Amino acid sequence: MSSLVDEINNQVKEGKKTIVRSLGEISDGVEGLDASRVRLMVAGAAIAAAAVGVGVILYRRRRRTLAERLQRALPETLRDQLKRPLQRAVQAL
């Protein structure tokens, strides 16, 4: 009877070893998956920040100043009439 009990105990021990090995492999896979997700999220955030930065730079370059907008709003004949007095005022400053 002792040999039967020993055999059962050996089978239980081997089963435990197999389960522990399997859990170790699963946890390694999960840890690797979490790290890749974190890397992916960091890369996505960096790309989004770069896109926002480029957008802001392009917006500022394309933005017209108040003087440019006023000049474009005025009719061409009025712009020509105001051009000479403005040039004289700029020279006086």
Residue 42 CA: distances (Å) to CA of 37, 45, 66, 78: 9, 5, 40, 55
Q: So where are the chain's domains?
A: 1-62, 65-93
Global pTM reads 0.41
Q: For the chain (length 93 residues), average pLDDT per consecutive 10?
A: 76 83 72 72 92 90 77 77 72 71
Residue-wise pLDDT tens digits, 29-54: 666 666 777 788 889 999 999 999 99
